[in-house]
Amino acid sequence: MKENTRRCKAIKKVPDSWVMQPNLLDYGKQCERFSWEDVRRELDGLPEDEGLNIAHEAVDRHANGTRGSILAIRWLGKDGSVRDFSYAELKRQSNRFANVLRQLGIKRGEPVFVLAGRAPELYFAALGTWKNGSVFCPLFSAFGPEPVYQRLSKGDAKVLVTTERLYKQKVADLRVRLPQLQHILLIDADADIGEGLWSLTKQMEGAADDFTIPPTDPEDMAIIHFTSGTTGMPKGAIHVHNAVLTHYLTGKYVLDFHPGDVFWCTADPGWVTGTSYGIIAPLVHGITNIIDEAEFDAKRWYHLLEEQKVNIWYTAPTAIRRLMRLAVSPRKQYDLSHLRSIHSVGEPLNPEAVSWGQENLGLPIHDNWWQTETGGIMIANFPAVEIRPGSMGLPLPGVEAAIVRRAAGEAVEVITEPGIQGELALKPGWPSMFRGYLHDEERYRKCFVGAWYITGDLAKRDADGYFWFVGRADDIIKTSGHMVGPFEVESALLEHPAVAEVGVIGKPNPVIGELVKAFVSLKPGIEPSEQLRLELIGFARKKLGSAVAPKEIEFQDNLPKTRSGKIMRRLLKTRELGLTEGDISTLEADE
């Protein structure tokens, strides 16, 4: 990752294929005269000055205006089926969902959890939840029962939208531990089942088409995204309706939406990108949002880009690396001439990927950086600004980013000298900044030091202000673009009767970024064996789901520990990478 700081040949500013001007032409000028009040003026607000609601900006203002018949969502099923929803239809469906919530007695500020793949109902649920003033809480459908339980219980879930299969596999057995979970809306059930299990279709059929969004304060809670930490169980990052200003602005300046555009974001709806850019940003701009039910499949993806005439594509480094490994010349085999820009987020995008895009897709790939807590893109390679391959780009106008070094106490020193590594920090105040961690005020406070929000990433800044990612400052693992907290994996493995101690790390992997690896020491009298290794992998998968469970397990008699007995993950990682151990006292603080 350190290689990122090498200066690469810049790719020219605007590709020849550009037929329309980017929205952000003069980055410097825009930064100078920027104000969030101006951005707010480009949005509508609820009628009669009753506040700001994401669903009104994303759907109703288009449906009520001149864009009602425009295609809002085109959903592509795994089996080849297609479902189209205009803005007018999306308004109706989300109104119905809001009415279903109201009938169930779900109130303003109460969470509505969704555990589902990319089903159209997930989108109706998100929008209907915001209309009702409730809080949308998406869960990753590849989680196993334990991560699902942790999040539902931390969020005091009263209502969950899911499918029959996911309910049976991941939720049914948890219900005795979740007494507050009263209503389960099953997307694909034909009839109500009883015991709080409702058919969503039936409920929606019986609900009214009209719904008036109640007054919404821009600071009202709208979304909770669960994200992993290195210690303790997942944190629920709270976002408010005002976040829509960032979604709108980044849609305009980074993704460069123009009327009539067709946009495809490949992110899973269980994570923050799936909400901010898989739902909100394209709809707020009144363009067409493509939703593909299927998972990664190179042929299907290229075919989709061609057939749907996608103009703007937002994807992730793991997917790009998978495409790069195939002996396919996409431009020879597919008509990708409608593509105007390609963007990537979630992990470092290596410079080779940027050039591969240029050669093979006809466009460079624009990396951008943000995280669950920031709610929207903060640093980006903007369409009309020179790309520095390997760099995350420049801060969004309206966002102040810096490389900082912490001094004693609350003091933070901004490193102005280029090329020096430090912590990536942001000046609080952008609209989509998280407003708290659910039930965890202390953890939230700790993220802010002096005048800065400390992101947990290490980075450098070059002389022209471009930011270059160096690594995480903590032990969080990014696997296939998804965050995994080592603590959650360790806790699950510790429940196996043979396991005495566990340390979990991210092991670098050329395709998926990092893979989850566990070092396990066994209880006295238990011998390591291949059979036990496989049993532990299976045990973890059943509990955590395949996306979170370790792919590798290594037995080790004595795991390295600090004086207070905390397992030194950093040292396990250093040894795994074959690096010298140096002064181990600096590798892991003895809390």
Residue 379 phi, psi (nearest 5): -135, 135
Looking only at the bridges linking them, the beta strands covering 221-227 and 379-380 are: unpaired
Q: Which is nearer to ligand AMP, 254 or 336 (CB)?
A: 254
Quick one: which of 223, 340, 317, 296 has its CA closest to 514?
A: 317
Q: Are 340 and 18 in contact (CB under 8 A)?
A: yes
Q: CB neighbours of 308 closer than 8 A, spacing ≥ 6? A: 74, 76, 262, 264, 290
Q: CB neighbours of 586 closer than 8 A, spacing ≥ 6? A: none
Q: Which is nearer to ligand AMP, 458 or 498 (CB)?
A: 458
CB of 244 to ligand AMP, least distance (A): 18
CB of 413 to ligand AMP, least distance (A): 21
| CA 335, 337, 338, 339 torsion-angle sign | positive
Q: Which is nearer to ligand AMP, 97 or 469 (CB)?
A: 469
3-state helix, strand, coil in the chain (%, to 5): 35, 25, 45
CB of 376 to ligand AMP, least distance (A): 11
Report if residue 270 touches ligand AMP, rule: CB under 6 A: no
Interacting residue with ligand AMP among 58, 148, 483, 522 (CB under 6 A): 483
What does the per-residue mask of binding to ligand AMP show for 324-363, with x meaning CB under 6 A? Answer: ---------------------xxxx---------------
Quick one: which of 342, 311, 396, 357 has its CA closest to 20?
A: 311
Interacting residue with ligand AMP among 5, 93, 132, 227 (CB under 6 A): 227
Report if residue 472 touches ligand AMP, rule: CB under 6 A: yes
Report if residue 475 touches ligand AMP, rule: CB under 6 A: no
CB of 227 to ligand AMP, least distance (A): 5
Residues 56-95 that bind ligand AMP (CB under 6 A): none
What does the per-residue mask of binding to ligand AMP show for 373-402, with x meaning CB under 6 A? Answer: -------------------x----------
Interacting residue with ligand AMP among 162, 242, 372, 381 (CB under 6 A): 372
Residues counted in the chain:
591
CB of 278 to ligand AMP, least distance (A): 13
CB of 348 to ligand AMP, least distance (A): 4
State how far the Cα of 205 lies from the Cα of 118, in Å rounded to an integer: 21
CB of 487 to ligand AMP, least distance (A): 16
Residues 425-464 that bind ligand AMP (CB under 6 A): 455-457
Q: Which is nearer to ligand AMP, 324 or 328 (CB)?
A: 324
State how far the Cα of 456 lies from the Cα of 209, in Å rounded to an integer: 45
Interacting residue with ligand AMP among 89, 292, 367, 423 (CB under 6 A): 367
Q: Are 279 and 58 in contact (CB under 8 A)?
A: yes
* Residue 371 CB neighbours (<10 A): 20
CB of 510 to ligand AMP, least distance (A): 16
Q: Which is nearer to ligand AMP, 121 or 268 (CB)?
A: 268
Quick one: which of 425, 287, 291 has its CA closest to 369?
A: 425
Residues 277-296 that bind ligand AMP (CB under 6 A): none
State how far the Cα of 154 lies from the Cα of 237, in Å rounded to an integer: 12
Structure tokens at 480: 């296939």
Q: Which is nearer to ligand AMP, 94 or 368 (CB)?
A: 368
Which of helix, strand or coil describes residue 366? strand
Q: Are 573 and 505 in contact (CB under 8 A)?
A: yes
Report if residue 369 touches ligand AMP, rule: CB under 6 A: yes
CB of 194 to ligand AMP, least distance (A): 38
Report if residue 257 touches ligand AMP, rule: CB under 6 A: no
State how far the Cα of 31 lies from the Cα of 24, in Å rounded to an integer: 10
CB of 516 to ligand AMP, least distance (A): 15
Q: Which is nearer to ligand AMP, 483 or 540 (CB)?
A: 483
Report if residue 514 touches ligand AMP, rule: CB under 6 A: no
Q: Which is nearer to ligand AMP, 216 or 455 (CB)?
A: 455
Report if residue 371 touches ligand AMP, rule: CB under 6 A: yes
CB of 553 to ligand AMP, least distance (A): 24
Q: CB neighbours of 452 closer than 8 A, spacing ≥ 6? A: 402, 404, 412, 425, 426, 427, 428
CB of 254 to ligand AMP, least distance (A): 12
Quick one: which of 519, 531, 524, 509 has its CA closest to 561?
A: 519
State how far the Cα of 467 lies from the Cα of 458, in Å rounded to an integer: 10
What does the per-residue mask of binding to ligand AMP show for 180-219, with x meaning CB under 6 A? Answer: ----------------------------------------
CB of 407 to ligand AMP, least distance (A): 23
Beta strand residue intervals within 321-451, DSSP E: 341-344, 365-369, 379-380, 394-395, 401-406, 412-414, 422-426, 436-437, 448-449
Q: Say how many residues touch ligand AMP, by CB under 6 A.
A: 19
Interface residues with ligand AMP (CB under 6 A)? Answer: 227, 272, 345-348, 367-369, 371-372, 392, 455-457, 469, 472, 478, 483
